[in-house]
Amino acid sequence: MKPLFTKRPSPNIGLIVFVFASLVLLACEQQALLNPFREMLASVVYPLQQLVSSPTQAVRKFGETFSSRIELLAENEELRREQLLQSAKLTKFAALEQENLRLRGLLDTSFKLGEQVMIAELLAVNLVPYEQVVVVNKGSRFGVYPGQLVMDAHGVVGQVLRVNSLSSEIILITDPNHAIPVQVNRNGLRTIAQGTGQVDRLSLPFLSSNADIQAGDLLVTSGLGGVFPQGYPVATVVAVSGTDNAFAKFAAAPVAKLDLNRELLLVWNKPDPIPRVPDLGSIPKESAGSHAAK
């Protein structure tokens, strides 16, 4: 039996020191002074995240290995059909892209195009219940940077919040603290879509009740704000209510499959716009002249 009062610890000074240290850390983090320190701690935690994530991944791998031949054939067929459709669309898109560039060249507007992507895999870890932040297995070692656009095959998923050397945290567009500048694809009406905390719902709080918007409208990124490049699909408007009074409510559903994804695309948005007029020879002389006259 240990005597009760032999080694009474005296934690008073300790408390002051550690509370002070915490406050200093909090203050320093505002200016992002501690990124190396944070990365060091993150490399301690990373094996844990991998460990927690591995059973889920193992189950998935197991399922892939033992899925039946018929299923695989069906999936293969499906993918081939999709591929055919996509490539047909893409050939048309290439022509449209060239035309778009020429027209934009004539209008003398800058236009960013040509993005690079990388696939990142989600780690199956939950962070905090009241935030929608996920962890992926690509970090600054792969050139990931904060604010980077993250999407899946269907649309925008979110942006990179914080980068460690081997992993990074991604905030989803449905996080209550996240807002994304969008425009209605049909008529170019610009607004901002805010997260609600529900994985299938965005709110559009800054619209007047007589705004030209209806259920089914596609919202794409507007490129304002400079974080998200222009023209990526974000959400479709699902509910418009109360347009007869001043308190209209608009809700949209993200087009990305936010809760089903295992793989995400990290998009590099090239900082310098590509040449506006790709091929000068193909443009008629008189339009080039009028362009110069402007």
Partner 1 sequence: MRQNNSTTRLVVLASLLVAMVLRIVPLPMELFVYNPDWVLLFLIYWAIAIPERVGIGYAWVMGLLSDVLTGRLLGQHALAYSVVVFVCVKLHTRLRSYSLYQQVLGVLLLLLVNQVLVFWAQNIKSSNSLGFIDWLPSFIGALVWPFILKVLRWVRRTYHIV
Residues that bind partner 1 (CB under 8 A): 4, 7-9, 11, 14-15, 18-19, 21-30, 34, 37-38, 41-42, 44-45, 48-49, 51-53, 56, 124-129, 131, 133, 135, 161-162, 169, 177, 199, 259
For tokens 């443009």, what's the residue?
283
Q: How far apart are CB 8 and partner 1 at their closest, in Å?
A: 8
Asked if residue 139 lies in contact with residue 168, where contact means CB atoms within 8 angstroms, the answer is yes
- Minimum separation from the CB atom of position 262 to partner 1 (A): 12
Nearer to partner 1, 133 or 277 (CB): 133
Q: Least distance from C-beta 124 to partner 1, angstroms?
A: 4
Question: Residue 237 is which amino acid?
Answer: V
- Phi/psi region, residue 100 (left: phi>0; alpha: psi -120 to 50; beta: rest), is alpha
Location of structure tokens 């949209």: 252
Rounded least distance, CB 178 to partner 1, Å: 12
Output 227 or 283, the one with its CB closest to partner 1: 227
What string of DSSP letters covers 166-228?
S-EEEEETTSTT-EEEEEETTT--EEEEEE-SSTT-EE--S--TT-S--TTPEEEE--TTSSS
Please say whether the beta carbons of 121 and 137 come within 8 A: yes
- CB nearer to partner 1: pick between 56 and 185: 56
Minimum distance, C-beta of residue 21 to partner 1, in the bound complex (Å): 7
Q: How distant is the alpha carbon of residue 43 from its chain centre?
A: 24
Kindly tell me which of 32 and 119 has the beta carbon lying closer to partner 1. 32
Residue 194 near residue 179, CB atoms below 8 Å:
yes
Q: Which is nearer to partner 1, 101 or 144 (CB)?
A: 144
How far apart are CB 51 and partner 1 at their closest, in Å?
7
Closer residue to partner 1 (CB): 55 or 188:
55
- Long-range pairs of 74-78 with CB within 8 A, sequence gap ≥ 24: none
CA distance 15 to 109: 59
